[in-house]
Amino acid sequence: MGSARLGPNLTRIAASLGISVATVSNALSGKGRVSVELAERIRATAAALGYVPSQAGRALRTGRSGVLGLVLPDISNPLFPQIAQAIEHSAAVAGYGVLIADSRGDIGMQSEAIQRLVERGVDGMVIVPRRGTRIADAGCPVAVIDTPSTPGNTVSADHWQGGREIARHLRNLGHRKILLIGASSASSVQNDRIGGFKSALDATTIKTEVLWIEKLEERDGPGCLLGLADKVQQGFTAFAAVSDLHALRALTELQRAGIAVPDSVSVTGFDDLIWSPVVTPALTTIRMDITAIAEIAITALVSAINNGKPIKTMRPGDASADEPLPGNRLVIAEKSRVPMQLVVRQSSGPLRLAKTKLSAENS
C-alpha cells in the first residue's frame, strides 16, 4: 500500500523559486536576512502551492506546541461552553489552538485533566477551577478565571459588583424580604455574589435569608422542592438566585404552586444563559462580558509565554489544604475585574401589597 502524498513543503517552494530551503524557512518564519521583495515572492508561492506550516515542525524549531489547554469545571453547565467558545476564539486570534478538558466537578479529575494537558505539551493553560479549590503547579503559565477574591485569580467578572446590581434592582422595586438561592457554600463565586448583594442593602430595613440547595438536597434528596411556597407565606416577595439554572428551578416551582411571577413575587438569576430571554417570563439576570474576560486572559497568558512575565509566584500559605501551590506560575493581567451588567426582563416587578394566592390544590 502506497503512502499518502504529503502536501507542499519547503523543498517544493524552494525548488520552484530556485533558492535554498533555508531562505524559504527564514522568510516564512520572519527570521534571517531576506529582502522584502523576495520574502513577498516566497509567501505568494507558498500560498499558491497551498503550503500549510507543520505544527510539529514548528514545535521542534521553537520548543513550543502552539496549543493552549482549557480546563472547565462542568461542561454540562450551559455557561461553560460559552466560555470555551470565547477562549477558543481569542486563542485563535493569537495564533493558538485549544485543547479542552472537563473536570466534571471533581477535585481529582481536575488534577488529572491538568496533568494530561501538560503531558500533551501545551504552552500554557486557562483554568476555571472547581468550586472551593486552588490550582496546583502545572509547570507552565496558568491563567485562572474564577472570582477576584480567589488567590491567584487572573481575570474574572466582578461578581461582588454583580450582586450589588441585582440587590439595588430589587430594592428599588420595593422588595423588603428577599431569599437568596445558591448551590454550594463552598463556591467562592457564589459567596461573592451573595456578599455583594447583602452589602448593597440596609439590614435594618430589608431582610435577606440564604438557602443553600446542596444542604437541602443532602436532607431531602436530589431535585427536592425548595420550599418556596412556604417562603412566600412567610412574606418573602423576591427570590434572587446566584445562577440562571437555579432561578429556572425556582421559577418552575413557584409557577407549579400557583404563584404568579412577577405579579406576586419576583425571580432573578445570574449569568444570562442562552435560554434566559426565552423562558416564560423572560428572566431578569446579570450578564458577564465573557468575550472581554477571554481576551484579557489569553492576552496575559500569551504575554507570559512569550516574555516570561508577568507571573505571580504563589506561596504555599496562599493555597487551600487540598492543593498546595509550590512555586506555581499564575499569570497576572493588567485588568483583573470585568464589570457585570444588569439585564431587566419580565421575571421581576414592583412589590404587590396584595396577599399572594396559592392555587386551590396547594392551599
Evaluate if residue 350 carries a pLDDT over 90: yes
pLDDT at 327: 42
Higher-scoring residue by pLDDT: 317, 233: 233
31: pLDDT confidence band, cut at 50, 70 and 90? low
Domain segments of the chain as ranges: 10-53, 67-157+290-338, 159-287+343-362
Does pLDDT of 239 surpass 80?
yes
- Among 52-61, 122-131, 163-172, 211-220, where is mean pLDDT lowest? 52-61
| Contact assessment for residue 267 and residue 250, using Cβ atoms and an 8 Å cutoff | yes
Is 361 a residue whose pLDDT tops 70? no
Tens of pLDDT, residue by residue over 52-69, are 765 555 554 556 678 999
pLDDT exceeds cutoff 90 at 362: no
Class of domain 67-157+290-338 as given by CATH: alpha beta
Exposed/middle/buried for residue 326 (C-beta within 10 Å: 0-12, 13-18, 19+): exposed
- How large is the average pLDDT for residues 343-362? 70
Q: With bands split at pLDDT 50, 70 and 90, how would you rate the model's confidence at 312?
A: low
- Grid cell at residue 272: 444570562
CATH for 159-287+343-362 is: 3.40.50.2300
pLDDT computed for residue 16 by the predictor? 87
Peptide bond into 262 cis (omega under 30): yes
pLDDT at 326 over 60: no
Q: What is the mean pLDDT of residues 118-143?
A: 83
Reported confidence tier of residue 47, pLDDT bands at 50, 70, 90:
confident
**One-letter amino acid identity for 31?**
K
- Predicted confidence at residue 157, as pLDDT, reads 97
Tell me the per-residue pLDDT of 87-115, one tens digit each, with 9 for 90 and over.
999 999 998 999 999 998 888 898 889 98
Topology classification of domain 10-53: 434 Repressor (Amino-terminal Domain) (1.10.260)
Q: How confident is the model at residue 325 (pLDDT cuts 50, 70, 90)?
A: very low
- Rg (C-alpha) for the chain, rounded Å, is 26
Q: Is the pLDDT of residue 20 over 70?
A: yes
Residue 48 grid cell: 499558491
Residues 6+ apart with CB under 8 A from 353: none
pLDDT (0 to 100) of residue 126: 96
User: What pLDDT, on the 0 to 100 scale, is given for residue 242?
Assistant: 97
Domains 67-157+290-338 and 159-287+343-362 share a fold: yes
Average pLDDT along the chain: 86
Question: How much is the pTM?
Answer: 0.78
According to the per-residue pLDDT averaged within each range, which of 60-64, 343-347, 349-353 is highest? Answer: 343-347
Where does the pLDDT of residue 184 fall: very low under 50, low under 70, confident under 90, or very high at 90 and above?
A: very high
The residues facing 182 across adjacent strands are 212
Burial class of residue 189 (count of CB atoms within 10 Å of its CB; 0-12, 13-18, 19+): buried
